[in-house]
Structure 1
């Protein structure tokens, strides 16, 4: 039995989290790497960003879950070698680090390093957010190698993985979606839907006017958990990247975090003076943002439950908020018809994106943080370049307001949901409508792609979710 069979991994699914959802690269170990591939502990990720001359690579160190003692966490950016020890500038001996295996992550492009440090299994990632099919793989790996000592003994394997990622990025796509399943989810109308983000065993979370959130299997339609605790309607929800937590926001002015496996409430975040209608985790899982009708966005530390920053500047209610993948930016949408960019570390305002003639109802980044999509009550969606702040595409064709917008994992498709009872699939570069998803009998207020981008879910006021393959 090879290592891929032992872990139950799947070749086509390079998920970020459980190793069972990633591809084990049998035969690509370094010569001194042991054959046995054991699963490491997984938890939120912390890291040190490193901007390269070529595609950007971000190095992150794994940490225990946010509720675990801080003493077990590895210092972000810690330096070591694949094997053995060496003294630092003061003559102290550094901790032993030994590479176990390399894993592919297709969305967003990256390589996961599983290694052992002082007998403790750990992981960290090399994020290749700017990778393109024509990127010089050898030059890129040479640059990465300068900052990542764990790959010094396995350069050829890393080059091979980068080229595999380039092949995936270069694949042509002409996928049509067809209705697969209809879920009758809640007693009262739905308000939001979301896919888990780990790429393993797709799950859906649904929020409702019945004040509950439910967790479902996309394959069987089975309800795993019903989360109860809010005193008013749940209007927004989100999984963390590790898919261990679900966050819900409610008209009761609070947000709650729930354990996905146990189905239990973990913490309640209180502080807004009006309804919470938007929330989102960052990719490391240690921050969450909440947007409110009080015109502000709060940036929370998940572990301490404290507000780190309050983003003030919109002149209307907040409708949407999201972190960029590298956690450096926050984008917010508002009823004041604008979208704003913020520095996620300092909470300072960077830019305001304008152009819509009515309320901005939703905003999102693509995985690389290079483009921003907005959805508006004026019936259109727009795509902006995050660097130049210019509109580069307009998506027009819906017959009513657009309440939700999202990129697919590759970033080349955009999905929108509208009050005209349809969802539409668009070419992200040209703004051309590629497909119309019809069948709901009332307005569609939410939509999402799964991890691989080959399944779509739509949620409607007709009290149903439709799953499209």
Structure 2
């Protein structure tokens, strides 16, 4: 609703929500009915010169030292997380690059673009190590299985695919839903969950 005399934002919450602590760098919002609260933090560093257009994806290496980002300007860049200094420009996709992920080692990057290609890059010399081809539409998201022997991708073509990095081959089409698959989340299944066998689903 404006600023207080101390220069802090005066915030009114909508029905069911409460505004807690408000500082120059954070706002605490809670929903008592659901017994949840979230603290929104302001950025303490902004890097405004890495890309010229909209950023489509961002990832940070497991050690926290490097960042990788993709953009609608068709570029993918690796940069120092501490100061935003660009270390590598990864060129090879045609049109927009939609997703990027560091492998657990922090030395390799996975990317997917509107050119329907999934690529693996060396973060050390910016070379493209592997290109996976098989999707019929732009790749919208990707994930890395465990340490990176396998990767997953999903696409506007309605499929999600499992790939083998060693042989650069598609191991299988995981789903075909007839409309774009926008995102992938990957995690370990709980031991109590009966996943059955590949030949016999539960």
Q: Give the TM-score of the pair, scaled to structure 2.
A: 0.74
Mapped contact 2:139–2:154 kept (Cα < 8 A): yes
Mapped contact 2:142–2:154 kept (Cα < 8 A): yes
Residue 423 in 1 paired to residue 160 in 2? yes
Secondary structure of the structure 1 residue equivalent to 2:125: coil
Residue 266 of structure 1: aligned partner:
38
Mapped contact 1:393–1:430 kept (Cα < 8 A): no
Q: Distance in 1 between matches of 2:86 and 2:37?
A: 33
Q: Distance in 2 between matches of 1:417 and 1:340?
A: 22
- Pick aligned residue for 1:441 from 175, 178, 183: 178
How does 1:373-452 map onto structure 2 within 5 Å? Answer: 373-451=110-188
How does 1:139-288 map onto structure 2 within 5 Å? Answer: 264-269=36-41
- Pick aligned residue for 1:346 from 70, 83, 88: 83
Q: Which has the higher helix share?
A: 1
Query: 1:307 deviation in Å?
Result: 2.1
Check 1:408–1:427 CA distance in 2 against 1; reply closer, same or farther (3 A cut). same
Count of matched residue pairs = 166
Q: Distance in 1 between matches of 2:131 and 2:65?
A: 26
Q: Distance in 2 between matches of 1:321 and 1:258?
A: 28
Query: 1:311 deviation in Å?
Result: 4.3
Q: Distance in 2 between matches of 1:398 and 1:404?
A: 12
Q: Please list the CA deviations of residues 406-457 of structure 1 after superposition, one character each: whole Å capped at 9, or x if unmatched.
A: 11112111100001110000012332111101242311011122147x99xx
Q: Please list the CA deviations of residues 55-113 of structure 1 after superposition, one character each: whole Å capped at 9, or x if unmatched.
A: xxxxxxxxxxxxxxxxxxxxxxxxxxxxxxxxxxxxxxxxxxxxxxxxxxxxxxxxxxx
Mapped contact 1:311–1:348 kept (Cα < 8 A): no
Give the number of the structure whose alpha-carbon radius of gyration is greater.
1
Q: Distance in 2 between matches of 1:429 and 1:375?
A: 18
Mapped contact 2:122–2:129 kept (Cα < 8 A): yes
- Pick aligned residue for 1:364 from 91, 96, 101: 101
Mapped contact 2:160–2:176 kept (Cα < 8 A): no
Gaps of 5+ in 1: 1-227, 230-255, 270-304, 456-467
Q: Please list the CA deviations of residues 347-370 of structure 1 after superposition, one character each: whole Å capped at 9, or x if unmatched.
A: 211111000111000000111112
Q: Distance in 2 between matches of 1:429 and 1:352?
A: 24
Residue 312 of structure 1: aligned partner:
49
Check 1:451–1:327 CA distance in 2 against 1; reply closer, same or farther (3 A cut). farther
Q: Distance in 2 between matches of 1:318 and 1:448?
A: 20
Check 1:420–1:257 CA distance in 2 against 1; reply closer, same or farther (3 A cut). farther
Secondary structure of the structure 2 residue equivalent to 1:436: strand
Q: Please list the CA deviations of residues 122-163 of structure 1 after superposition, one character each: whole Å capped at 9, or x if unmatched.
A: xxxxxxxxxxxxxxxxxxxxxxxxxxxxxxxxxxxxxxxxxx
Residue 302 of structure 1: aligned partner:
none
Gaps of 5+ in 2: 1-15, 18-27, 194-200
After the TM superposition, which segments of 4 or more aligned residues of structure 1 sit over 3 Å from their partners? 256-259
Q: Distance in 2 between matches of 1:357 and 1:257?
A: 42
Residue 72 of structure 2: aligned partner:
335
Q: Distance in 2 between matches of 1:380 and 1:435?
A: 16
Check 1:307–1:413 CA distance in 2 against 1; reply closer, same or farther (3 A cut). same
Mapped contact 1:338–1:354 kept (Cα < 8 A): yes
Mapped contact 1:321–1:333 kept (Cα < 8 A): yes
